[in-house]
Structure formats: C-alpha cells, structure tokens
C-alpha cells in the first residue's frame, strides 16, 4: 500500500468537513473519489497534501506516518497535487511552465521534458506559446505536465474536468488514462462521477464528509445508489 488514510477527521472551525475517512491507494493504481459539491473531496486532498491540518486519524505514505508533516516535506516525498483551476503562469511559455515543475527537485529536466512531449504531443506543438493563450483543456494538460515534472510518487488531481466543454473533458480523461498506463499512481477527485469511475481501478463515494461506499470503478458504475444519486439514471 502506497497511501493509507485511516479514520481521518478535519474541521473548519466547528464545521466537521471530514468524518473518519479511510481510503487506500496502491502503487500504480488509479483511485477515484467522487461526490457532490461540498461533500468534502477538496478537504480530503488538502488534508492529505498538508495545507489543512487533520484533527485526528492518520495518513501513512509508503509505511511512514506523515499526518503531521509540513506540506513542502510531503511534496518532497512525492505527494504532488494538481490544483483545481490550474494556476499556470499565463505570460510564460508552456515550456517554462513545465520547467517550473522540475524546479524543486533540481537537476536537468531535459529527458523528462522529452518523455512528456512524447506522452502529450500537444505540449510540444505549443511549447513556445504563452500558456495563457491555450484553451482550457490544453491549459489543464500543461498543469498536469508541470506536476509530472516534479516526478510524483502519487499524483493528486482535483477536479481536472471542471469548467471544461464535453470534448475537452474527454481529452483530459484520456490524458489521465495515458498517465496511468505509464505507471503513474493517481488519486482523482471528481464531481463527474461517470467519467472518473469509468477509468478508475477503484472508487470511493463521499457524502457530507463521510465515505459511504467503496468498490471497483466498474461495480460502482453498476451500483443502484450511485446510478441514482450521481449518474442521473
């Protein structure tokens, strides 16, 4: 088990946003966390990446307890988040944005850039353009690429499909699938339950801060409760 979250609680003042959540991710796995707006998905990611404190419970990464580790130390351990809403440097070129991802770990990123360009040819085509001039879906791929340049051991994706047109959503999920095939371990947080569960090995459903279901992605897509509440079927 690469990531083991056990009985995790998190609060905003008196709001109990995460209620004894448990979740695991194995090496190489693609795990989806789905739920409605305000269910606590982002809070789980923020607590996991260390930007919001856990009230109780434990987070283990590669066997090590990281529950109280500072956020930047978790990044150094390889827990890398692609933030909701991208946050690229718009005036900088695509390639400069990608290089920034490698900044923390130092060294020469040339090889990684070439690998990334092979995986996402659109990045190579657009490498000299200001990132801010790309379409929403392409910017999201730049954000993904930038996170990959940090060589994550687990990639945390926060609603990558948010605000994108259906065609671009398909493009993003295709990109996530390609990353998984390359062996990247991924925790994918999504409101778009159908698209996320369709590509996930396993999934968790969160409702008002509580994980209420977990199973394989395929089984959850078939689950009556999921179909009614999240797939509109």
Query: For binding to ligand ATP (CB under 6 A), which residues are involved?
Result: 12, 15, 17, 35, 37-43, 191
Residue 7 beta carbon to ligand ATP: minimum distance, rounded to whole angstroms: 17
Residue 37 beta carbon to ligand ATP: minimum distance, rounded to whole angstroms: 4
Alpha-carbon gap, residue 189 to 158, rounded angstroms = 5
Q: How far is CA 81 from CA 2, 62, 195, in A?
A: 16, 17, 20
Name the residue nearer to ligand ATP (CB basis): 11 or 60: 11
Residue 118 beta carbon to ligand ATP: minimum distance, rounded to whole angstroms: 33
User: Are 162 and 4 contacting, i.e. CB atoms less than 8 angstroms apart?
Assistant: no
Q: Which residue is nearest to ligand ATP (CB)?
A: 42
Alpha-carbon gap, residue 33 to 197, rounded angstroms = 9
Residue in this structure with the two tokens 């259906």, named with its chain if needed: 166
Residue 41 beta carbon to ligand ATP: minimum distance, rounded to whole angstroms: 4
Alpha-carbon gap, residue 96 to 110, rounded angstroms = 12
Name the residue nearer to ligand ATP (CB basis): 41 or 180: 41
Name the residue nearer to ligand ATP (CB basis): 95 or 158: 158
User: Are 57 and 21 contacting, i.e. CB atoms less than 8 angstroms apart?
Assistant: yes
Name the residue nearer to ligand ATP (CB basis): 17 or 188: 17
Residue in this structure with the two tokens 């409605």, named with its chain if needed: 36
């Amino acid at each position: 088990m690469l990531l083991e979250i056990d009985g995790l609680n998190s609060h905003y003042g008196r709001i109990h946003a995460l209620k004894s959540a448990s979740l695991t991710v194995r090496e190489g796995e693609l795990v989806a966390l789905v739920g409605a707006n305000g269910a606590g998905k982002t809070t789980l990611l923020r607590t996991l990446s260390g930007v919001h404190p856990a009230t109780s419970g434990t987070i283990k990464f590669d066997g090590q307890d990281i529950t109280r580790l500072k956020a930047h130390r978790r990044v150094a351990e390889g827990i890398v988040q692609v933030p909701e809403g991208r946050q690229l440097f718009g005036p900088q070129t695509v390639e400069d944005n990608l290089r920034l991802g490698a900044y923390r770990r130092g060294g020469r990123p040339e090889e990684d850039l070439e690998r990334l360009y092979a995986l996402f040819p659109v990045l190579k085509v657009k490498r000299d353009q200001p990132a801010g001039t790309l379409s929403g879906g392409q910017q999201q791929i730049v954000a993904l690429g930038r996170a990959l340049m940090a060589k994550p051991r687990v990639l945390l994706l926060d609603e990558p499909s948010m605000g994108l047109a259906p065609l671009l959503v398909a493009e993003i999920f295709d990109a996530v699938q390609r990353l998984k095939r390359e062996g990247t371990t991924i925790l994918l947080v999504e409101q778009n339950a159908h698209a996320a569960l369709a590509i996930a090995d396993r999934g968790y459903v969160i409702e008002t801060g509580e994980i209420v279901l977990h199973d394989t992605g395929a089984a959850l897509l078939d689950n009556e409760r999921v179909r009614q509440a999240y797939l509109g079927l």
